[in-house]
Amino acid sequence: AAAAALGLLPLGKTQSPESLLDIAARKVAEKWPFQRVEERFERIPEPVQRRIVYWSFPRSEREICMYSSFNTGAEDPTAAPGGAA
C-alpha cells in the first residue's frame, strides 16, 4: 500500500518479494550451464534443480528466436565437398 501511495506500483497491484531460491537459481543459471552445475555438485535437491533449469531458458521472444536459429558453423556432413549440394 505504501509503495502504491508513493507511485511506485499501479493502484490495486501488489508485488511479493522474489524467493531466495529463485534469486540464487537465477544467478547460477546466468553464470554456468546446467551441465556444469550437475558435474560439479553431487547432490542438488530436485526443487533447486528445477529452478536452475527454469532460469536457464531465455525469457524474451527475441532471445528464444536467436537461440533456436543458432548456427555452430559446422558444415552439414551430407553436403558435397565445396558446399555444393
pLDDT score for 73: 57
Mean pLDDT by 10 residues, the chain (85 residues): 54 79 94 91 92 87 76 55 48
Measure Cα distances from 77 to 71, 74, 80, 83 in Å: 14, 9, 8, 10
* pTM score over 0.85: no
- Decide if 81 is inside a domain: no
For 47, half-sphere exposure in the C-beta direction (CA atoms, 13 angstrom radius) is 5
- Decide if 6 is inside a domain: no
- Decide if 75 is inside a domain: no
The count of domains in the chain is: 1
**CB contact at 8 A, 56 and 33:** yes
- Decide if 14 is inside a domain: no
